[in-house]
Each structure stands twice: as C-alpha cells, then as structure tokens.
Amino acid sequence: MNTSSTTHVEKHLLSLYTCGCYINTQDITTLGHKLGIDLAYKKRSLIMQTLFLHAQRENKKLELLTLLCTLLDTKAKQLLNLSQHYTKTAVLMQHFLFKINTSKLLLQRELALHVKEFSGNN
C-alpha cells in the first residue's frame, strides 16, 4: 500500500459522509489492540494515521484491512437492525448501508493490491 493510497483510505474511513458510519476513537484503539499496537486516546485522525503506519511497519496491513472490513460489517449490521426496528428510518439507513458497502469495496481493493504487492516481492 503506498502512502497516497493509505492516506486516501484513512481520510475515507474518517469521514461519516464517505464511509457511511462513524468510526470512533474506541473503534480505532480496539483495532490497534487486536494488532498488538497500543494507541493513545488522541484525535481520531492522528491515531488512525498511527495505526496505519504501525501496521505498515509491522507488516500487518493485511490484518488491519481485514479487521476494518469486519468493523464495517458490524456497523452495517447495527444499522440494518435499527432500520428494521424503526421502519421510518429505512430510507436513510439504506443510504448509509450503501456507503458502508462502498467503503468495504475500497478496503477489498486495497487488500487485493496488498496481496499483489506481497506476491510480487517474493
């Protein structure tokens, strides 16, 4: 994953408008913990950047991208559950679910690029 691609992914995930869900500080630090990376509670953009940098340095990009996909799946399930319980919100929730799916496609593309880079280096 090159730096500009990583930066684009970070910005995409930090924006509620583009990502479709809000990834909070706790979510990011939990991802870091799962990767064995301790992250201080600071500004979301700073800890997301730190998470990506550590994952890249520690060769854990694949794991990070996979964990992010899982997180987005969890958030999508929560929104789907809310839309089923509050049917009047279904139209709004569908918009956010679409954006979450688009975000997952972006992560899957990054996963594919990472695998391609990794296999090309070996």
Residue 34 has pLDDT above 90, yes or no: yes
The pLDDT assigned to 44 comes to 93
Residues 108-120, mean pLDDT to the nearest whole number? 78
Please choose, from the candidates 40, 48, 4, the residue with its C-alpha nearest in 3D space to the C-alpha of residue 23: 48
What average pLDDT does the chain have? 90
Please choose, from the candidates 30, 33, 61, 29, the residue with its C-alpha nearest in 3D space to the C-alpha of residue 46: 29
The conformation of residue 89, written as its DSSP 8-state character, comes to G
Write out the DSSP string of 11-42.
HHHH-HHHHSS---HHHHHHHHHHTT----S-
Euclidean distance between CA atoms 43 and 77, whole angstroms? 26
The pLDDT assigned to 1 comes to 45
**pTM attached to this predicted model:** 0.88
Please choose, from the candidates 61, 74, 75, the residue with its C-alpha nearest in 3D space to the C-alpha of residue 107: 61
Residues 37-61, mean pLDDT to the nearest whole number? 91
Residues 38-49, mean pLDDT to the nearest whole number? 91
Burial class (CB in 10 A: 0-12, 13-18, 19+), 107: buried
Residue 117 has pLDDT above 50, yes or no: yes
Euclidean distance between CA atoms 72 and 48, whole angstroms? 15
